[in-house]
């Protein structure tokens, strides 16, 4: 993200209405490799191709904000790898992390990983270090520390069904697991900040928030997210494109000031539920419109969102969730052109 783009983002998050509507999109391995014309495995294992794909995106669409920008990642394997998860990397499918917790007793055998040395994390940081001169030559800087959220990581370590069942059967064990993961995430974000002083934002992605009740969110989610978002970052960004109905009203209390939802709630409903305290990155349908629709469909969805957002300053126009696979250059250009009208 350029200095100018970063200043625009900070103003919108602060509630200042921009002169013209601003768009932004989360982009990573589900979209970038195929759009650039390479396999997912090439994207993960070839730092030069990873860099060129990201540079091509900012050159092709200079008028939008790509978040977090030059995201160094290995899909859902990123954080579980630090806990010793066996990771599968098919050539052109999304990677998968196998669980490491087979029984509840295994929770107490976990140790807090060292993000400087464990799993794929040092490779992520080193990729950014190597790419930093080229990124800065293009006018961009590293702005965000990034991770999956604690509930999301827990489900990969334990299995989603097993984790949700254990919430009911042995809540103390779940709290011990969340404590270990949260301590790890605090260290991981701290290391990213120390490595790149230009970071002034945090992004966490956690869709499991949308699969639990309000009561369970308050017990097993709220206190740990509160810890993780309590830092001094200017932009505190959260992604959950699962159902946020029972939890979104609490996000401002956690410190979150930028939220990327799915399409379960309309912009009007999100504004009402949060009392206009959140900047929304969203939220036309990602798959059925932005990826699978025609350019006419995309333009119509953008017009409808603009009409709904009238008079609302805290919005970055986007899709509901990250950029999905299959979005074409033409459809994304149609989105941006309609936004300018």
Other Cβ atoms less than 10 A from the Cβ of 307: the count is 8
Over residues 276-305, mean pLDDT: 97
For 110, the enclosing helix (H) or strand (E) is: none
- Tally of structural domains, the chain: 1
Return the pLDDT at 254. Answer: 98
Helices 150-158 and 171-195: crossing angle, nearest 10°?
Answer: 120
Q: What percent of the chain has pLDDT over 90?
A: 98
Q: What is the pLDDT of residues 220-276, one digit of tens each?
A: 999 999 999 999 999 999 999 999 999 999 999 999 999 999 999 999 999 999 999
Q: What is the pLDDT of residues 154-178, one digit of tens each?
A: 999 999 999 999 999 999 999 999 9
Query: What ranges make up the beta strands (E) of 109-234?
Result: 144-148, 201-205
Q: What is the pLDDT of residues 15-39, one digit of tens each?
A: 998 989 999 999 999 999 999 999 9
DSSP result, 23-54:
BEEE-STTTHHHHHT--HHHHHH-HHHHHHHH
| DSSP summary character for residue 107 | G
pTM, full prediction: 0.97
Return the pLDDT at 312. Answer: 84
Task: Please check the confidence at residue 310 and state whether its pLDDT lies above 90.
Answer: no
Return the pLDDT at 313. Answer: 87
Structural domain of 207: 3-13+22-340
C-alpha span between 304 and 309 (Å, rounded)? 9
Cα angle 311, 312, 316; round to 5: 130
The domain that holds 55 is classified in CATH as 3.20.20.210
């Amino acid at each position: 993200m350029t200095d100018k783009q970063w200043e625009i983002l900070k103003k919108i998050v602060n509630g200042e209405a921009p002169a013209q509507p601003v768009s932004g999109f989360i982009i990573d391995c589900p979209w970038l490799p195929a759009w650039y014309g390479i396999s997912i495995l090439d994207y993960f294992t070839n730092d030069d191709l990873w860099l060129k794909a990201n540079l091509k995106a900012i050159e092709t669409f200079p008028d939008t904000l790509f978040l977090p920008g030059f995201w160094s990642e290995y899909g859902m394997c990123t954080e579980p790898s630090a806990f010793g998860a066996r990771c599968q990397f098919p050539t052109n499918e999304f990677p998968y992390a196998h669980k490491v917790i087979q029984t509840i007793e295994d929770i107490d055998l976990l140790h807090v990983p060292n993000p400087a040395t464990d799993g794929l994390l040092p490779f992520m940081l080193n990729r950014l270090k190597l790419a930093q001169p080229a990124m800065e030559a293009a006018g961009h800087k590293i702005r965000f520390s990034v991770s999956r959220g604690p509930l999301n990581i827990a489900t990969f370590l334990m299995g989603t069904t097993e984790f949700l069942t254990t919430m009911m059967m042995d809540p103390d064990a779940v709290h011990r697991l969340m404590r270990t993961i949260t301590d790890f995430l605090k260290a991981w974000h701290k290391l990213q900040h120390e490595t790149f002083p230009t970071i002034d934002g945090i992004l966490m992605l956690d869709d499991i928030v949308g699969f639990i009740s309000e009561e369970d969110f308050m017990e097993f989610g709220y206190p740990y997210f509160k810890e993780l978002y309590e830092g001094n970052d200017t932009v505190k960004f959260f992604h959950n494109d699962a159902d946020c109905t029972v939890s979104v009203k609490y996000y401002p209390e956690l410190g979150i000031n930028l939220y990327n939802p799915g399409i379960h709630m309309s912009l009007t409903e999100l504004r009402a539920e949060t009392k206009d305290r959140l900047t929304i990155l969203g939220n036309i349908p990602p798959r059925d419109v932005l990826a699978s629709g025609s350019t006419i469909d995309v333009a119509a969805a953008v017009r409808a969102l603009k009409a709904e957002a009238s008079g609302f300053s805290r919005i970055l126009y986007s899709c509901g969730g990250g950029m999905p696979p299959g979005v074409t250059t033409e459809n994304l250009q149609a989105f941006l052109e309609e936004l300018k009208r």
